[in-house]
Amino acid sequence: MATWTWFHKLASPPHFYRIAGKMIPWFAIPAALLIAAGLYGGLVLAPADYQQGDAFRIIYLHVPAAWLSLMCYMTMAISAAVGLIWRIKLSHALAAASAPIGASFALLALATGSLWGKPMWGTYWTWDARLTSELILFFLYLGYMALRSAFDDLTRADRASAVLALVGSVNVPIIHFSVTWWNSLHQGSTVMRKGGPAMPVSMLAPLLMAAAGFTLLYAALACIRVRGEVLIRERNATWLKELGSA
């Protein structure tokens, strides 16, 4: 019972606006520290890979970006579903806010992967299961944003794009398992595999820090963007007038 009261309070736009505003530095500062530490550890402290030399250092951007592109899509699909079922505007706002973030990180995963693929596989691109499914993820984000912008009415944009987000979520497990299901050029899982990560701590720790930093950065960016979405959605609410210089 108490949980629901709390939930309703949080889901009310003025409360959310205030709380999200207070949360931003709590996400952003650790995110900046973790990303800086992770990238420094990866570029400077970690030893070169015995097979891939220094080219493997691209992993410290590639894996966190790919992870975030997937996590962001799941967040988007789940909040779109919640918005569709319970008609919670804030949920739709979170889904809409996640799309451009996810798209940019899917693009970064593809681009860094391409720059890593050239020296290791001899090609920038190949129509391999992992690469193709990640490219589809990028297009799903673009399609989601294009569909939203095609509606003048926000409620209809929310509902139509939520269906697209849900249908597209079938792609997420395909990306994750693509390296196991198909014969892929892409290397298998290094971190989340049976028997623990196949990496020494000096290589693994910066990777985990960068991934955690990217995740926290997503939280900070989502807070900022959802606040913007809330302002756009709450056109006539009286609390907007009391925002003053906040």
> Which residues in this chain contact other proteins in the complex, by CB under 8 A?
35, 39, 43-44, 48, 53-55, 57-58, 61-62, 65, 100-101, 104-105, 107-108, 111-112, 115-116, 118-119, 217, 221, 224-225, 227-229, 231-232, 234-236, 240-241, 243
Length of the chain: 246
Cα dist from 45 to 25, 29, 64, whole Å: 28, 22, 18
Q: Which is nearer to other proteins, 84 or 225 (CB)?
A: 225
Q: Which is nearer to other proteins, 136 or 240 (CB)?
A: 240
Q: Which is nearer to other proteins, 76 or 217 (CB)?
A: 217
The distance of closest approach from Cβ of residue 45 to other proteins in the complex, given in angstroms and rounded to an integer, is 11
Q: Which residues pair with 49 in a beta bridge?
A: 53
Q: Which is nearer to other proteins, 57 or 130 (CB)?
A: 57
Q: What is the maximum alpha-carbon separation in the chain?
A: 63
Q: Which is nearer to other proteins, 33 or 85 (CB)?
A: 33
Q: Which residues pair with 53 in a beta bridge?
A: 49
The distance of closest approach from Cβ of residue 217 to other proteins in the complex, given in angstroms and rounded to an integer, is 7
**CB neighbour class for 100 (10 Å; exposed up to 12, middle 13-18, buried from 19):** middle
The distance of closest approach from Cβ of residue 166 to other proteins in the complex, given in angstroms and rounded to an integer, is 24
The distance of closest approach from Cβ of residue 111 to other proteins in the complex, given in angstroms and rounded to an integer, is 5
The distance of closest approach from Cβ of residue 196 to other proteins in the complex, given in angstroms and rounded to an integer, is 27
The distance of closest approach from Cβ of residue 226 to other proteins in the complex, given in angstroms and rounded to an integer, is 9
Q: Which is nearer to other proteins, 84 or 210 (CB)?
A: 210
Alpha-carbon gap, residue 37 to 42, rounded angstroms: 8
**CA end-to-end span of the chain:** 32
- Both tokens of 167, joined, read 């249908």
Alpha helical stretches, state H, the chain: 2-11, 13-40, 59-86, 89-121, 129-149, 154-168, 171-181, 201-233
Q: Is 126 helix (H, G, I), strand (E, B) or coil?
A: coil
